[in-house]
Amino acid sequence: MKEKSIDSINVVPFIDIMLVLLTIVLATATFIKTGAIPVELPVVSHSEGAIESVIIDISEDGIFYFDTTPRALPEIREILLKTSRSAPITVRADRRAAIQPFAELMSLLKECGFEKIDLQTEVSG
Rounded-to-integer distance, Cα 80 and Cα 62, Å: 19
Model pLDDT, residue 43:
58
The confidence band for 16, taking pLDDT boundaries of 50, 70 and 90, is very high
Model pLDDT, residue 72:
94
Question: Taken in order 95, 86, 110, 56, is the CA torsion positive or negative?
Answer: positive
Model pLDDT, residue 25:
85
Three-state secondary-structure class, residue 106: helix
The confidence band for 44, taking pLDDT boundaries of 50, 70 and 90, is low
- Which domains does the chain possess? 54-119 (3.30.420.270)
Count of CB atoms situated within 10 Å of the CB of 125: 3
Q: Which residue, among 49, 54, 65, has the nearest Cα to 118 in the 3D structure?
A: 54
Rounded-to-integer distance, Cα 98 and Cα 104, Å: 11
